[in-house]
Structures are given as C-alpha cells and as structure tokens.
Amino acid sequence: MKYSSLAIVFGAACSAQPKPTLELAIDANQSLIRANQGGIVIARLKVQGHASPAAQPPPVDMALVLDASGSMEGDPITHAKTAARTLLEGLRADDRVAVVSFGSEARLVAPMSEVDAAGGELAQRIETISADGTTDLAAGLTLALTQLKASRRSGAVRRIVLLSDGVPNESSTLAALIEEARGLEISVATMGLGLDTDEVLLSRIALDTHGSFRFVADPVAVATAFTEEVRRAGKTVARSIGGEIRLGPGVFVERAVGISAQPGARTLTLSLGDLSEGESRDVILMLRTPVKPSGSRVELLEARVWSADTDDTHPKAKGYLGLGVTESEEALGASLHPDVVLDAMKAEAAATSISALGLAREGRRDEAQQALINSRAGLQKQLETQAIGANVEAAKIARLELLESALSGSNREARKLANELQQQSVQQLLGH
C-alpha cells in the first residue's frame, strides 16, 4: 500500500523538465489509522534543494572569525592562518570576505571587500594575526555581524565561519547575538578546534542559525573544514527558506523535532535557513489524530514552503497529507512505513545526544546519563512496535550507548568521542 501523501511544486509541469529548486515531500509512518480510536501519527516533511541548470550561483558574503587567544599560540594559529588563505582561494572573484580575530578583544583584520580586488592584501593582513589574551568570542561575533550588516547586497548568501579552541570569557550576550543573526538571515558555521572547546555552545550557535558545526581534532584539518564551508556556500540553491504547516480538523501536535512547536499548536511556522545543492531539511511531527469511523478520512496536514528567491522561476512548493481509517488489523499492518519511523528515530537520537551533552557540560552527568537511557529504551520500543528489524536501526541506539560511555569517562579519548558524536548529531538535525 502506498503513502497517502502529495507533494506539488508549481512550475513543474512534466517529468521531462529539470527538478525545481525547492521540493517538498510529506509522508507518515502509516497510511491508515485505527477506527474509533485516537492515536499518535509520525509525520515527516522533507524539504530538498536542487540546482537549476540555467541559474547562476548566488554571490557569497562571508565573515571569517578566528580565535586568536593565547591558547591558539604555536601550531594552532599558524594552521588557522594557512586555512584562512586557503579559504580565500576557494571563493569566486565577485565573492566578498571580511576577516575578524578575537582574543581579549575583537580586531577587524580586513573589512568586507571583493576577493578579486583585495586578494593579495587580504592574505598579507591575515599574516598579521597573532595569538594573545583571553577568549572574547562575543566581541568577535559582534564585529562580524557589523561587517555583514554594513555591506548588505541583494541576492547574496551571507555566512559567518567561526573557529574557536576554547570556552568564551562570557556567554550571556551570545543569545542576543544568535537571535540577531537569525533575524538577519545569516548562518553561522562553527568549528571547535581541539578537546577544550565548548562544543555545546558552538553547536547551539550552529543549530539556531541553521549553520553547521564541526569538531576539528587536529589544527592541520582546519583548511579542509574551511574549504568545505566555502563549497557549501557556493552551492546554495535556496536562501532563507520559510514556510507554514496547517493541521487538519481535530489534529494536534504533541511534539516536534526540527522546529519549535508548542503542544496543542495547530499552525506551525517554518524557518529552515539556506539549502545547498543535494541537502535536505527534515521536520518530524508527532501528531494526535481525532476519533473517526471506519471508511472515513483524516485530513492530517497541509504545508507550503518558499525561499527568499521565490518567484516564477523559483516557485513555492506545497503538499498535503491525508490518512484512511479502517477496522482491519491486516490493512493497518500493511500500511506501516518504517523509513519514516527510522528518520524520526535518527532525529530523536540526535536531539537527545545534544541535550545530554549540554547537561554534562553543566556538571549534571547523572541527568545526562538518565536521559540517554530513557531515550534508548524509547527507541527500542519503537523498533518493536513498528515491526522494524533490530539490525536495521541498531546503529542509532548504538550511538546513544557510545555517548553514555563517553560521558561516563574522563580521559581525552572519551572527550574526543563525545565531540565527534556531537558533530554527527548536529549534522543529522541540519540535514548535512
């Protein structure tokens, strides 16, 4: 039995045409629900970006923010500067870049300028960065935002790439800066260098601004991380994706992963950031359905998404999902769709991992361990109730087990494992 789902993209009249820039697919873990009973259905909304062969890639305005505190002295700052020059080489001639460093205070190393016009001078200015002082990350982020605000141009992809190896002096002002970046539709790609970085904070910055987070164990690998961010920015196919989900009569949201949603809400707002070619964003909703008689239908939800580039060439996408109602146990069993459950499990495991690491960072290790144990038990129950073979999704539960092990240890290997799992979890939620 096939899904009761529909995805429509205006402007895609026939299969011979190229894929639209923005595509929306809506599915559920089952296409039928039990008659005369309410229940929980898992809905998955997948937004994908595709390159348009005729479209020119948008220009990139990037602010590079480098930690130049005393802990970066030696190989770390040397490799960071080499990586910064490598980043310049990956940008196109009409792309623009600003360079900021921070120690005890922030310094504007190079103001926003076109790479082609200022490439040689930019490289020379980067070489003047030296490591000294404490870690005023907030000052560095503030200066980067100032550069991007002062030089805004239409149609540009705006990114901050932030590298830090430590814990900031003061984090109380960062929430306002993250909110400002979101409001300005600026994504922040964060990179934690080494084992002493605040991976929880850097992950939160990345998630809240729809950026990315990378754990970089070795300073030599910074150049590769920078190159990947330049590649992603240059392959952006949809900017500042927004949207709306409207639930059908008698349908209420119980929980959501991928967006903020209050229990009981009936209209949900989507803010998904930019999408690069080949990337996707998943929104997972646990929805309570109404009681319906056999043979009737449940209008579960409808949704539409758009981007900053939405016009006749880059149309909106919309979709609808409805479910049938039956008394037949055989039909109910045949209507299950394990792949939706598995995606929901991945998202839940990732969100739990990030939350647990946050608790551990605050010194609440027992709570973190218990959260992981509870989540693992819940995932195992889903495997059993959805008739999914344990071998299919054992890796997702194994990730939680690994994190439990990492949080129970105090050596550097345990710390490295926790950072690597944090990166995987953030990438899972951001669709990278």
- Please write the tens of the pLDDT for every residue from 311-344: 655 568 999 999 999 999 999 989 988 888 888 8
Architecture in CATH for domain 5-9+18-51+238-329: Sandwich (2.60)
Residue 50 — φ and ψ, nearest 5°? Answer: -130, 145
pLDDT tens per residue, range 228-265: 999 999 999 889 999 999 999 999 999 898 888 887 78
Identify whether the C-beta of residue 101 lies closer than 8 Å to the C-beta of residue 140.
Answer: yes
Let me know how long the chain is: 432
For 60-234, CATH gives 3.40.50.410
CA distance 187 to 184: 9
In what helix (H) or strand (E) does residue 427 lie, and over which residues does it extend? Answer: helix 412-430
* DSSP class of 311: S
pLDDT tens per residue, range 117-160: 776 889 999 999 999 999 999 999 999 999 999 999 988 999 99
| Percent of the chain whose predicted confidence (pLDDT) is above 90 | 56
Q: What are the mean pLDDT values of the chain's consecutive 10-residue runs (432 residues total)?
A: 43 46 92 93 92 80 97 94 92 94 97 84 94 96 97 93 92 93 95 89 93 91 93 91 95 90 86 90 94 97 89 76 96 89 82 82 82 76 57 51 57 66 73 65
pLDDT given at position 365: 81
Sign of the CA dihedral 187, 188, 191, 197? negative
